[in-house]
Structure 1
Amino acid sequence: MAETAPTLAQLPAELVLDIFAYLEPLDLASIALTCKILSTHSYDDRIWQPLINRNLPEPISEPAPLKTFRELFTAHHPYWFLAKRRLWFSDGEHQGKLVAARYEPKTGCIAAYTVAAQRGRHTLEFWEKDHEVIIHSFSPKIMLDLGKPVLKLDVDNVKTDDQPSNEPSDRAYAPPSRYSKEIMMETAAEAGLYSSFMLCRTLPKSAIHDGTAIWPPLRLPTPTHVRNDTSNGYQSSGHRPTRLNEVSEYHWRLRKWVEFNGRRATPRLMEIMSLRGGLPAALSMAGPYFAANLRSSASGGMGIKMPEDVTTFAALPNECFTPTPRKPWQGLWCGDYSGHGCEFLVVLQPDKKDERPLPSSTDWLKQWFRGGRRGSESSGSSYASAQEEIPTSAQSASEKTEGDSSTLPATAQHQVPVTTWAQQGQQIEPHSVLQGFTEMPYQRTVEEVTDYEDVPSGRLEAIKLTGDPNIPRGEYTFIAPDIGHAGFLRVADEDIFRGARVVRSAGHIAGRGFREDQYTPSQLIMVSHDRLAQFWEGFGHISYYQRVDLEALMKYTG
């Protein structure tokens, strides 16, 4: 009689565990329903520990506070992506928020904290090249606000079922499932202020068109996007997933609301009878918006109608924050924005095939980017101004100014070709917002210089993850179209930047409320792979950008 092949259940335990190690969690759950033997194998912690650790930057060896790794995995399923992606940035108006999410082994919770920065001691000095240009010192201290978590998912968080039962559009609301329900969180210290966490549903690429309200904007290389505009509190099936394959692992939402006397306000509007207690500030809704909604109250106090606050958070692939030999400047940075304080940005060095078209507002700078230059062809130290290379109605192409020059270091070897302005196209007049940025009051030296032989190439772009009322989160703050020979200006010979390459860039400026945004000529000083400086020509100052040590940030304990 022919021998029959052993069944899966008859294999040695070691082989079964090796096979199960290739399965995903839901597959293991399905196998557990087949028979007692396979069910026992599928519960083995040697399978579940790696499933948890693949989501964590540092592996854990104990499942505390729970008894098994399987219990721990199940308690936080499907939220492990929060710790895996680590950095999350929100669509909060203008400023936004950057948070760092991590798993905390001592408590078994997944928590996210606001990333904050102190600029450190601030000093001013005048630039050696021009004593009317101010250099702002910048030594930021990066930290986490551990006293007030933005998100906190405990192993025993309560899920809520907020599906409405009295709305005319009930059929449009997401059917109840573990993926559509919100999770109540204890994150607020203010009495009466509550928050909940909700998953997001991925928006199909076919549904994304020009003008579609999505987060984050397409200039940020997130694999998936979600809609961040709603008329129903993000409760419809278009916003909330009902199955695991609909869950976006690059997005989540935070809802905040107020309750009084143990009774929750209506989902759409909440009545707050007093401004005391810090609730407006806690909801990030203080200011003119608040004042516009003041009304008289029959009780003699002040009453306010205020909608719930729902914020969408997004993440970028971890490689966007990881420098490589080919992309040494890529990563998370902190920038000095003077009166606006410290802001966080991601510096990207996209591959040529992934580069998006430059913003149309940079069209008037095309000749500047191409390296058009007037003046001497001699080799020497110089610092060139875009304003000298771009004639305006107040400055003709035949005008030029010259100054002293000195010898470059002997290491510079690559000669940059000279192209006169007359050989290039006609200049496009800048937007009116740049008035005052097209004429410089000081003398410039524009001479041909030589570049290093082995230099990086390609585009470098800096995009704000947190913003300000002028340039909000999600917008470019500066772009250097080519940091190679084509964008080269000079090698710095002044003491403070000695040896640093200086390349052409465009700084993003706008009026308050992001009105009449435009790009202005600027110079990116590549001090090191961890430090950059930007010469904002029109403002007459140089400000710094410092790389954030992401590994140290994620381990921050105060």
Structure 2
Amino acid sequence: METADGQPLSVGPPLAAVDIAGAVVSSPEAEPEPCLILSLPSELKLLIFSLLDGESLLSLSATCRALREIVTGISSDDLWKSVCSHLVRPSLPREAPMSPAPYVSYRALFNALRLFMWFTPGLWHGNREIHGTLYLSRYNPGTGHIEVYSLLGLFEHSAGHTFHRWSRNPAVLMLDTRPMIQRPASPILRFSSGSRYDRTSEITQKHHPRGLQTSFVHAAALSSDRVNYKQMKLWPPLTMPARDRTRNDSPTAFRGQLISPLDASPYLFRLRQEISFAGSSSGSTIKMAERVETIARVPDDLLIPDEEHPYRGLWIADYDSHGGEFMFFHQPTANSLHAVKLTGDPNVPRGEYTFLVDDLSHTERIATEEEWPGARVVAARGQTAAFNFTNPTLSPTQLILISPDVVCHYWINVYRITIYRRVDVDDLISGGSGISYSGCLVP
């Protein structure tokens, strides 16, 4: 820069700060100010650092030697225990002590599973055509792996009879069954310190002995304007509350997208499965029957009932010839209830409503029948349809509110009562059965 007469304009010492009188008040040679956080008592520093996640702790340790010694020192493992607790603690039985084993420390645990710490214990539902799928993610404290299992609802029929006739109207039948939730011995996904992304940003799982090859695929969330685009096929569907939604189909089977883990949603992922076997020529492999399933997390907070929303959560029911099905009970308001199928059947598939209650506060009658005396009965609308969800209809039905853990749905037009029982997701994650039989209605 120059003055009006062509002389160079002096700007003073480089990067200097100047006060109103023109005096230099700081310069590059000045000593940097000390890190004020280091002057805090040790207990307070540890309390502040315990509120950080693992990536933030690693960034903090890179700022200076003193902070690195605090974050990575021998006595720092309580910090890393706090980081890992949201992964480890839910996967243990309620009374079991928390431990970093099989790792030597919680910091070692974090380093081993760093790429997958977002995959915390929880419930997930998939878009498999018609029937859908339900998955459970959890930490395996025996192996130190993060695992994902598929869940199947089964019902044990009592000996001697299957149906129970309703004492109020003997023409109405109830299925006399007891629910069970089956979890396979082997997980469909397993993440460990050895899990690696390939060049397509997928993680291939151990080859199945029958030739089924499974790969984990990241998924990116759609922006809000694209979610509202009516022609876009979404998962989860709009019947389900969700943190993120993504595309439900792709002409390329979601290949070639190279989604970085940094761009991926922690509430969505995909499974790519195909049958592969050795071909006739040496070393060749034949792949066929590829299927890609999109999977979304059920919001954790909406699985927990509270005083204002006593019915929300995961439920299971026996749908007669269709077998056991899982429902998500959503209470968008305290006085409404939407029951969405997480797994479905050829008539009413996954992602559709099975029944709706518009006003839980309006009591139609108080039950006097012997099965559930004193229960409130409210008006509902149950959904039925022909094969392939054709001609779906919402018909007047009734919901019998026996307890926050057991409700019955009276399908007036088909003379049936379906019994729904709550599933304790926390108990499932920690290795339990997930179902209490204390609320069984039929002897």
TM range (shorter): 0.7 to 0.9
Query: Secondary structure at 1:82's aligned position in 2?
Result: coil
1:157-556 equivalences under 5 Å are 157-162=195-200, 181-186=201-206, 189-208=208-227, 209-237=229-257, 241-242=259-260, 244=262, 246-261=263-278, 263-265=284-286, 270-271=287-288, 306=289, 308-351=290-333, 458-485=335-362, 488-556=363-431
User: For residue 180 of structure 2, what is the aligned residue in structure 1?
Assistant: 141
Give the aligned residue type for 1:52. C
Closer, same or farther: CA 554–70 of 1 in aligned 2, 3 Å = same
Closer, same or farther: CA 540–547 of 1 in aligned 2, 3 Å = same
User: For residue 112 of structure 1, what is the aligned residue in structure 2?
Assistant: 148
User: In the alignment, is the contact (CA less than 8 A) between 1:143 and 1:556 conserved in 2?
Assistant: no
Task: Please report how far the alpha carbon of residue 219 of structure 1 lies from its aligned counterpart in structure 2 after TM superposition.
Answer: 1.9
User: In the alignment, is the contact (CA less than 8 A) between 1:129 and 1:494 conserved in 2?
Assistant: yes
Choose between structure 1 and 2: higher strand proportion.
2
Query: Secondary structure at 2:384's aligned position in 1?
Result: strand
Give the aligned residue type for 1:48. W
Give the aligned residue type for 2:102. P
Task: Please report how far the alpha carbon of residue 47 of structure 1 lies from its aligned counterpart in structure 2 after TM superposition.
Answer: 2.0
Closer, same or farther: CA 264–159 of 1 in aligned 2, 3 Å = farther
User: For residue 190 of structure 2, what is the aligned residue in structure 1?
Assistant: 152
User: In the alignment, is the contact (CA less than 8 A) between 2:87 and 2:138 conserved in 1?
Assistant: no
Q: Aligned partners of 1:226 and 1:4: how far apart in 2? A: 48
User: In the alignment, is the contact (CA less than 8 A) between 2:337 and 2:356 conserved in 1?
Assistant: yes
Q: Aligned partners of 1:309 and 1:341: how far apart in 2? A: 24
Instruction: Give the alignment's TM-score, normalised by structure 1.
Output: 0.65
Larger mean Cα displacement after TM superposition, 513-522 or 256-265: 256-265
Closer, same or farther: CA 80–10 of 1 in aligned 2, 3 Å = closer
User: For residue 425 of structure 1, what is the aligned residue in structure 2?
Assistant: none
User: In the alignment, is the contact (CA less than 8 A) between 1:9 and 1:38 conserved in 2?
Assistant: no
Closer, same or farther: CA 90–13 of 1 in aligned 2, 3 Å = same
User: In the alignment, is the contact (CA less than 8 A) between 2:377 and 2:401 conserved in 1?
Assistant: yes
User: In the alignment, is the contact (CA less than 8 A) between 1:143 and 1:553 conserved in 2?
Assistant: no
User: In the alignment, is the contact (CA less than 8 A) between 2:86 and 2:120 conserved in 1?
Assistant: no
- Structure 2 stretches of 5 or more lacking a match? 1-30, 434-443
User: In the alignment, is the contact (CA less than 8 A) between 1:126 and 1:135 conserved in 2?
Assistant: yes
Closer, same or farther: CA 264–48 of 1 in aligned 2, 3 Å = farther
Task: Please report how far the alpha carbon of residue 233 of structure 1 lies from its aligned counterpart in structure 2 after TM superposition.
Answer: 2.5
Give the aligned residue type for 2:237. P
User: For residue 103 of structure 2, what is the aligned residue in structure 1?
Assistant: 66
User: For residue 98 of structure 1, what is the aligned residue in structure 2?
Assistant: 134
Give the aligned residue type for 1:535. Y
Query: Secondary structure at 1:339's aligned position in 2?
Result: helix
User: For residue 20 of structure 2, what is the aligned residue in structure 1?
Assistant: none
Give the aligned residue type for 2:144. G
Q: Aligned partners of 2:399 and 2:330: how far apart in 1? A: 14
Task: Please report how far the alpha carbon of residue 15 of structure 1 lies from its aligned counterpart in structure 2 after TM superposition.
Answer: 5.2
Give the aligned residue type for 1:192. G
User: For residue 116 of structure 2, what is the aligned residue in structure 1?
Assistant: 79
Q: Aligned partners of 1:79 and 1:515: how far apart in 2? A: 41
User: In the alignment, is the contact (CA less than 8 A) between 1:322 and 1:331 conserved in 2?
Assistant: yes
Give the aligned residue type for 1:7. C
Task: Please report how far the alpha carbon of residue 202 of structure 1 lies from its aligned counterpart in structure 2 after TM superposition.
Answer: 1.4
Give the aligned residue type for 1:464. K
Q: Aligned partners of 1:87 and 1:344: how far apart in 2? A: 12
User: In the alignment, is the contact (CA less than 8 A) between 2:91 and 2:141 conserved in 1?
Assistant: no
Task: Please report how far the alpha carbon of residue 198 of structure 1 lies from its aligned counterpart in structure 2 after TM superposition.
Answer: 2.0
Task: Please report how far the alpha carbon of residue 497 of structure 1 lies from its aligned counterpart in structure 2 after TM superposition.
Answer: 2.5
Q: Aligned partners of 2:361 and 2:294: how far apart in 1? A: 37
User: In the alignment, is the contact (CA less than 8 A) between 2:87 and 2:139 conserved in 1?
Assistant: no
Larger mean Cα displacement after TM superposition, 247-256 or 459-468: 247-256
Task: Please report how far the alpha carbon of residue 46 of structure 1 lies from its aligned counterpart in structure 2 after TM superposition.
Answer: 2.5
Closer, same or farther: CA 228–126 of 1 in aligned 2, 3 Å = same
Task: Please report how far the alpha carbon of residue 200 of structure 1 lies from its aligned counterpart in structure 2 after TM superposition.
Answer: 1.5
User: In the alignment, is the contact (CA less than 8 A) between 1:98 and 1:114 conserved in 2?
Assistant: yes
Q: Aligned partners of 1:224 and 1:105: how far apart in 2? A: 29
Q: Aligned partners of 2:212 and 2:167: how far apart in 1? A: 53
Task: Please report how far the alpha carbon of residue 58 of structure 1 lies from its aligned counterpart in structure 2 after TM superposition.
Answer: 5.3
Is the aligned partner of 1:29 residue 2:61? no
Give the aligned residue type for 2:145. C
Closer, same or farther: CA 243–117 of 1 in aligned 2, 3 Å = closer
Task: Please report how far the alpha carbon of residue 513 of structure 1 lies from its aligned counterpart in structure 2 after TM superposition.
Answer: 1.2
